[in-house]
A and B are shown apart, each in its own frame.
Chain A
């Protein structure tokens, strides 16, 4: 049985259709990369999976259970599905450690000392043990994004959604964030990530999906998508990426 299953997902903003029937299957321990032009709906798809956006029709299943549509316990779903945003979205009025422990304490009901012990452990893993009591404003973009990843991981999600998490970073800060994702992939965390980092996608992804005009136009292992794409649209997209020097 597939772990995360998206069936015929439709989503429009008002009258404007953005996703026009997405079908996608993610097996456990798989890493799936979503690529496609800016505005093609990558963020929207990830937000739908996390129920941050209501969907118009279709179905999302997690571990066999339907987790979309009316009556879904979104707060329960979100305990299992974490998301990291392009713009970090840390809580500026809280310290790094409070950012990380807020959800474990308020949602999972952990007591403070337990939550903080785990939070510090995770921070140490991403090399930020010294920053536990700093505020987000005092950190670099790369450090903030690492904290945001830790914040999502602190809830022990079974799937992690990553929405262009390096797009807002200065080039020299990208590597420190991607290193963490690489590690998570090696540990077998199931991940669905939208990215513009094609070489990174080629390296970590088990499957690459090219989104175009509201559907997944082409899907396959990275060697196929980057090496021998069958669709003209995919080739055109990759050509533009190469011209921009990003592959």
Chain B
């Protein structure tokens, strides 16, 4: 690299910079290697296709599409080369600004090309991993016949997961707020209540959910507690998850309530509103707006933890899938469960991201 000499006669950045063409060439080499690798992977994939039927045509289509798409990697590489060439011409012509602009574009395109190659290569490697050992991996996790045999029953059983999740979330929404308000109970009279709430929160954030589910699901019937012991496994699961997530959500609410500036409390109280009226009309409504994103995060956790109810014999999607997997020594039915969780979770995470981004921009707008 050239030193940035203050007294240099030529404009800054106009010196030869060997890195520029180097990067473009490297991009071209990487793209060439990646395209060859992908085309080879595509042929492997097609070799593994069944000789006829739908599978044959699907795999053929995927192979051809993959190979064709890999050619798109050539575009940024070509751009890197052409901008690099333009940059050199401008350098020769003494146009320092033009040189800088095109050098930057060339570098950018080269980096885009190489980044895309990395992503494409990882996908190709995954395909090869599935094909490895005579398609053993694909057969174990993604066997089409196992998927088609099990998906209907598994998806039906997933209704139990959704039921537990939705009912649990509704309960947790109210219960968590009750616990949070108890933890913040004011004055000397509130102290024992606050202590109790704190003890509950500490305990249930410490104990793993699977153990709470186990204790509730098996323990309550054993102990013969009236009403509670008569609960079905599904309701025991809801009860257990509400206990665990009530503790988490209470802390989320508490953080939200405490984030409301004390001047809001002062303003409401100065108008003659009681503590509870102030909480109800002024503090909690503002707090809830702030805690929706972290609340949704906890809900996603709760939804995933519905799969733990399998330990007490609730027939959820995972339990159902395990019946297939142990009968056929194949895990594809469990993969179906995983896919179902992905399908319900991704929209929610995107929603949370959007809300967080919106809050962020609103805060910045307010300065």
Q: Given contacts A102-B281, A106-B277, are A91 and B264 in contact (CB under 8 A)?
A: yes
Q: Choose among B266, B281, B285 the residue that contacts A89 (Cβ–Cβ < 8 A).
A: B266
Q: Given contacts A85-B267, A87-B263, A106-B281, are A93 and B272 in contact (CB under 8 A)?
A: no
Instruction: Find out whether the CB atom of A52 lies under 8 angstroms from the CB atom of B266.
Output: yes
Instruction: Find out whether the CB atom of B282 lies under 8 angstroms from the CB atom of A91.
Output: yes
Q: How large is the interface on B (under 10, 10 to 19, 20 to 34, 35 or more residues)?
A: 10 to 19
Question: Is A10 an interface residue when CB atoms closer than 8 A count as contact?
Answer: no
Question: Is A120 an interface residue when CB atoms closer than 8 A count as contact?
Answer: no
Question: Is A165 an interface residue when CB atoms closer than 8 A count as contact?
Answer: no
Report the Cα distance A131→B366, complex, angstroms: 20
Question: Is B274 an interface residue when CB atoms closer than 8 A count as contact?
Answer: yes
Nearest A residue (CB) for B285: A93
Instruction: Find out whether the CB atom of A106 lies under 8 angstroms from the CB atom of B270.
Output: no
Q: Choose among A47, A75, A85, A93 the residue that contacts B273 (Cβ–Cβ < 8 A).
A: A75
Nearest A residue (CB) for B288: A93
Question: Is A206 an interface residue when CB atoms closer than 8 A count as contact?
Answer: no
B223-236 CB mask vs A (1 if < 8 Å, else 0) is: 00000000000000
Residues from chain B with Cβ under 8 Å of A106 in the complex: 273, 277, 281
Residues from chain A with Cβ under 8 Å of B270 in the complex: 50, 52, 78, 82-83, 152
Question: Is B289 an interface residue when CB atoms closer than 8 A count as contact?
Answer: yes
B254-291 CB mask vs A (1 if < 8 Å, else 0) is: 00000000011011111111100100011001100100
Q: Given contacts A85-B263, A89-B264, A91-B264, are A103 and B273 in contact (CB under 8 A)?
A: yes
Nearest B residue (CB) for A88: B267
Question: Is A79 an interface residue when CB atoms closer than 8 A count as contact?
Answer: yes
Q: Choose among A47, A76, A102, A137 the residue that contacts B271 (Cβ–Cβ < 8 A).
A: A102
Q: How large is the interface on A (under 10, 10 to 19, 20 to 34, 35 or more residues)?
A: 20 to 34
Q: Choose among B264, B272, B286 the residue that contacts A103 (Cβ–Cβ < 8 A).
A: B272
Nearest A residue (CB) for B280: A106
Question: Is A162 an interface residue when CB atoms closer than 8 A count as contact?
Answer: no
Instruction: Find out whether the CB atom of B267 lies under 8 angstroms from the CB atom of A91.
Output: yes
In angstroms, how far is the closest chain B Cβ from the Cβ of A161? 9
Instruction: Find out whether the CB atom of B281 lies under 8 angstroms from the CB atom of A78.
Output: no
Question: Is A92 an interface residue when CB atoms closer than 8 A count as contact?
Answer: yes
Q: Which one of B266, B271, B274, B282 has the greatest number of beta carbons of chain A within 10 Å?
A: B271
Q: Quick one: which of A48-84 are within 8 Å of B by CB?
A: 50, 52, 74-76, 78-79, 82-83
Instruction: Find out whether the CB atom of A93 lies under 8 angstroms from the CB atom of B271.
Output: no
Question: Is A33 an interface residue when CB atoms closer than 8 A count as contact?
Answer: no
In angstroms, how far is the closest chain A Cβ from the Cβ of B320? 45
Instruction: Find out whether the CB atom of B272 lies under 8 angstroms from the CB atom of A155.
Output: yes
Q: Quick one: which of A195-224 are within 8 Å of B by CB?
A: none
Residues from chain B with Cβ under 8 Å of A82 in the complex: 270-271
Residues from chain B with Cβ under 8 Å of A90 in the complex: 267
Q: Given contacts A89-B264, A102-B281, are A107 and B269 in contact (CB under 8 A)?
A: no
Q: Choose among A47, A52, A92, A155 the residue that contacts B286 (Cβ–Cβ < 8 A).
A: A92
Question: Is A11 an interface residue when CB atoms closer than 8 A count as contact?
Answer: no
Residues from chain A with Cβ under 8 Å of B271 in the complex: 78, 82, 102-103, 107, 151-152, 155
Residues from chain B with Cβ under 8 Å of A47 in the complex: 266
In angstroms, how far is the closest chain B Cβ from the Cβ of A100? 10
Residues from chain A with Cβ under 8 Å of B269 in the complex: 52, 74, 78
Report the Cα distance A82→B271, complex, angstroms: 7
Report the Cα distance A218→B272, complex, angstroms: 33
Nearest B residue (CB) for A46: B270
Nearest A residue (CB) for B261: A89
In angstroms, how far is the closest chain B Cβ from the Cβ of A49? 11
A96-115 CB mask vs B (1 if < 8 Å, else 0) is: 00000011001100000000
Q: Quick one: which of B284-329 are within 8 Å of A by CB?
A: 285-286, 289
Residues from chain B with Cβ under 8 Å of A152 in the complex: 270-271
Q: Quick one: which of A96-151 are within 8 Å of B by CB?
A: 102-103, 106-107, 137, 151
Some 6 contacts from A to B, beta carbons below 8 A apart, are A52-B266, A52-B270, A87-B263, A90-B267, A103-B271, A137-B366
Apart from the given pairs A89-B263, A91-B286, A152-B270, 14 other A-B contacts in the complex at a CB distance below 8 Å: A52-B270, A74-B269, A75-B274, A78-B269, A79-B272, A82-B270, A87-B263, A93-B286, A102-B268, A102-B281, A107-B272, A107-B273, A107-B277, A152-B271
